Amino acid sequence: MRGHEQTAGDHPTTSHPTPRYNFSMTNKELADTLVLIADLLEIKGESFFKTNAYRKAAESLLNLSQDARSIWEQGELESIDGVGKAISEKIGELLETGELGFLNRLKAEVPESLATLMRIPDLGPKKVKLFWEQLGITELDQLEQAARSSQLAELPGMGEKSQARVLAGIEALKRRPTGRMPLGEVWDFAQAQLAFLRGLSGVTAAETAGSLRRMRDTVGDLDILAAAAESEPVMEAFVGQGMVAHVEGRGPTKTSVEFSNGLRAQLWVHPPERFGTALQYATGSKDHNVRVREHALAQGYSLSEHALTREDGSEILCATEEEVYAAIGLPYIPPEMREDRGEVPAAMKNALPQLIETGDIVAELHCHSTWSDGRGTMREMVEAALSRGRKVITISDHSYSLGIANGLQVERLEEQRKEIDALRVEYEGRIKILHGTEMEIRADGGLDFPDEVLAWLDIVVASLHVGMRQPGEQVTARMLNAICNPHVDIIGHPTNRLLPDRAGSDLEMEAIFQAALEHGTVLEINANPQRMDLNDIHARRALELGIPLAINTDAHAPEHLDLLHFGVSVAQRAWATPEQVINAWPVEKLLGWLRARG
Ligand code: DGT
Ligand code: CA
Ligand code: ZN
């Protein structure tokens, strides 16, 4: 909890963290250890195949809903996804002794601090090894020194530009807010916590609050609220879960814990009749709450997490948030809008937009199949879209210059069309199947397909996956070239950021927006929670200028179609209405728009 006003009743019972075991490694610590092994092996020059096995296992550990220790005690470590015999033995040794002989020997060969250098965006193991072997660099500040004194530029395969990129990467690493987790990585865990709390006797409601409820793309910690007449049994059950690694503070209204996966959370328990004010308070944002309290005061109420209080001291209790906003004369403000970006003044004028919702989306306009790097066949993707109620599905596999994704040449596009035509006959009247491409915007600025091929396709998504670290001017020019092509309908994941670490390309966003507006090119909100690209700020700017957006899952497997709501939340945070999102347009309007673009 940062910068919190200490309210009465916070954490009076314990002041020290209480570890559950004398000696224990959490899932997070185990995962970090496996990632360290992967990093050091990679610097040593081990194969991707081997190092990736450690990374996969680490990821599985973070996604566990149980403590790895209890799985180990049952002898079931190998039931964890990606954990085979060798890795399970290592986890066992770590859990038993807190040490790992294999890792100790590895550290003797490759200095552990080199793993920190691997955290620098866009710096790979080969470069780290080069700096270490040639210049003896093992620490971040040594690397920065070497870059500033131009020593890196002299090394084989480096040069001025690469050196500048290393420096920019170091800056980015230093700027990075520590410890924030991508929304998509904590989402399922948060839902499981809600289900757990809702299942407890005496709990009448449970909701997430804080940044997760507002759907910020990263969250610092988890805030969870439960409504119950008696808080003690709820708190007891909460801290008694196997996944709780430490209890950091415990009180009647609020308990703070750290889970085994490294996530910190606070549970607030309030009586059901006060749940509305409590949820409104804990949802934030802090700045939104300041505005709402100001407005409440102007109406003669003081608003706290416990109640609205009149000037004579009498209380108005609110069981729901709707009642809170109504009591102070405001329409309900959806959590996604509560960032103090003008929503309170807009609410006062009754001028909040009618926000788009996931249920408004009828068309998926960017998906992959086994024809390139997807895991689902075209039929499986169509079935998945149909079962989720979509009326339009697009197969837009990668184009040929993205070799690692098995991109398609024109001949394979033509073969693919035959299969699509057959599916179209079969699914006639049930779902519309569009044949598209995710066309590479190449590093040299060219596009993979000539205009006649693009005109023949139903829809063209143009994206950039290589050369994203080119100087701003160059990478912006490539994007503009794609935006200005009359056959390009949508720009996919426009900035190329990856959460939490990879910053987007150094784009001149205002130039991108102006060109998109002029050429009628739609910008994507990629719903994959690693991307959420455009982000909320950029999406809002695009909408202000009158640029329509597309919300696409970019599904590489049937179940990825369920990630749509992450993209919708970005649009909601950008105040988007259904009219501003082409996936929500009536199908005939969408198809007419596509035909008109050629
Ligand atoms: P995070 O965790 O950094 O992603 O961001 P939040 O928004 O979840 O913030 P957090 O966890 O510090 O606090 C949860 C909520 O509690 C926050 O959204 C609003 C409320 N809150 C936090 N600090 C303050 C404060 O200093 N004053 C007031 N009025 N409310 C606060
Ligand atoms: Ca929080
Ligand atoms: Zn894609």
Give 399-424 pLDDT, tens digit per residue.
999 988 899 999 999 999 999 999 99
Least-confidence region, from 171-180, 234-243, 309-318, 417-426:
171-180
Q: Report pLDDT for 178.
A: 66
**Same domain, yes or no: 395 and 451:** yes
Among the candidates 133, 160, 175, a domain finishes at 175
Q: Report pLDDT for 176.
A: 67
Q: Report pLDDT for 500.
A: 85
209 Cα to the center of ligand 1, angstroms:
9
Nearest protein Cα to ligand 1, atom 21: 286
Angstrom distance (rounded) from CA 582 to CA 524: 10
- Please report which helix (H) or strand (E) contains residue 393, including its range: strand 392-398
For ligand 1, whether the C-beta of 3 sits within 6 Å is yes
For ligand 1, whether the C-beta of 265 sits within 6 Å is no
For ligand 1, whether the C-beta of 219 sits within 6 Å is yes
For ligand 1, whether the C-beta of 277 sits within 6 Å is no
Does pLDDT of 21 surpass 80? no
**In ligand 1, which atom is closest to the CA atom of 4?**
26
CATH number at residue 226: 3.30.460.10
For ligand 1, whether the C-beta of 430 sits within 6 Å is no
Q: Report pLDDT for 11.
A: 41
Q: Is residue 390 part of a domain?
A: yes
Higher per-residue confidence, 383 vs 21: 383
202 Cα to the center of ligand 3, angstroms:
46
Angstrom distance (rounded) from CA 413 to CA 400: 10
**Same domain, yes or no: 192 and 310:** no
pLDDT tens by residue, 538-583: 999 999 999 999 999 999 999 999 999 999 999 999 999 999 999 9
Beta-carbon neighbours within 5 Å of ion ligand 2: 210-211, 221, 223
281 Cα to the center of ligand 1, angstroms:
8
CATH number at residue 154: 1.10.150.110
Domain count, the chain: 4
Does pLDDT of 23 surpass 60? no
For ligand 1, whether the C-beta of 289 sits within 6 Å is yes
235 Cα to the center of ligand 1, angstroms:
20
**Same domain, yes or no: 283 and 212:** no
With CA atoms as reference, report the closest residue to 258 among 285, 284, 220, 225.
220
Does pLDDT of 44 surpass 60? yes
For ligand 1, whether the C-beta of 211 sits within 6 Å is yes
Q: Report pLDDT for 333.
A: 98
For ligand 1, whether the C-beta of 177 sits within 6 Å is no
254 Cα to the center of ligand 1, angstroms:
13
| Portion of the chain with pLDDT greater than 90, in percent | 86
3-state secondary structure of 236: helix
Q: Which ligand is nearest to the CA of 286?
A: 1
For ligand 1, whether the C-beta of 190 sits within 6 Å is no
CATH number at residue 335: 3.30.210.10
Residue 163 tokens read as: 């050196």
210 Cα to the center of ligand 2, angstroms:
5
Which are the contacts of 400, defined by CB distance < 8 A and separation ≥ 6?
407, 408, 409, 440, 448
For ligand 1, whether the C-beta of 116 sits within 6 Å is no
356 Cα to the center of ligand 2, angstroms:
25
Q: Which ligand is nearest to the CA of 218?
A: 1
For ligand 1, whether the C-beta of 210 sits within 6 Å is yes
Q: Is residue 124 part of a domain?
A: yes
Pair 137, 144: CB distance under 8 Å = no
Pair 549, 366: CB distance under 8 Å = no
Nearest protein Cα to ligand 1, atom 25: 4
Nearest protein Cα to ligand 1, atom 20: 282
Q: Is residue 512 part of a domain?
A: yes
Cis preceding-peptide flag for 24 (omega within 30 of 0): no
For ligand 1, whether the C-beta of 5 sits within 6 Å is yes
267 Cα to the center of ligand 1, angstroms:
13
**In ligand 1, which atom is closest to the CA atom of 180?**
4
**Same domain, yes or no: 31 and 151:** yes
Q: Mean pLDDT score of the chain, rounded to an integer?
A: 93
**Same domain, yes or no: 187 and 293:** no
CATH number at residue 423: 3.20.20.140
| Portion of the chain with pLDDT greater than 70, in percent | 96
Q: Is residue 2 part of a domain?
A: no
Does pLDDT of 79 surpass 70? yes
Does pLDDT of 277 surpass 70? yes
Average pLDDT over residues 481-506: 94
**In ligand 1, which atom is closest to the CA atom of 290?**
29
Q: Which ligand is nearest to the CA of 490?
A: 3
Q: Which ligand is nearest to the CA of 527?
A: 3
208 Cα to the center of ligand 1, angstroms:
13
**Same domain, yes or no: 372 and 506:** yes
Angstrom distance (rounded) from CA 448 to CA 440: 6
Among the candidates 352, 376, 391, a domain finishes at 352
**Same domain, yes or no: 373 and 289:** no
Q: Which ligand is nearest to the CA of 6?
A: 1
**Same domain, yes or no: 535 and 500:** yes
Q: Any idea how long the chain is?
A: 598
Nearest protein Cα to ligand 1, atom 22: 4
Average pLDDT over residues 270-283: 98
Angstrom distance (rounded) from CA 143 to CA 495: 28
Q: Is residue 3 part of a domain?
A: no
For ligand 1, whether the C-beta of 221 sits within 6 Å is yes
The residues facing 440 across adjacent strands are 463
**Same domain, yes or no: 13 and 71:** yes
**In ligand 1, which atom is closest to the CA atom of 210?**
8
Q: Report pLDDT for 501.
A: 79
367 Cα to the center of ligand 1, angstroms:
37
177 Cα to the center of ligand 1, angstroms:
16
439 Cα to the center of ligand 3, angstroms:
9
Q: Is residue 1 part of a domain?
A: no
Among the candidates 254, 270, 286, a domain finishes at 270
pLDDT tens by residue, 356-384: 999 999 999 999 999 999 999 999 999 99
Backbone angles phi, psi at 578, to 5 degrees: -60, -30
Strand order in the sheet with 244-250: 18-19, 244-250, 254-259, 264-270, 222-228, 203-209
Does pLDDT of 16 surpass 70? no
**Same domain, yes or no: 461 and 362:** yes
**Same domain, yes or no: 412 and 554:** yes
Average pLDDT over residues 446-454: 96
**Same domain, yes or no: 293 and 255:** no
Q: Is residue 338 part of a domain?
A: yes
Q: Is residue 60 part of a domain?
A: yes
The range of the structural domain enclosing residue 62 comes to 8-175
Which are the contacts of 236, defined by CB distance < 8 A and separation ≥ 6?
none
2 Cα to the center of ligand 1, angstroms:
8
Average pLDDT over residues 137-158: 93
Give residue 64's pLDDT band: very low, low, confident or very high (50, 70, 90).
confident
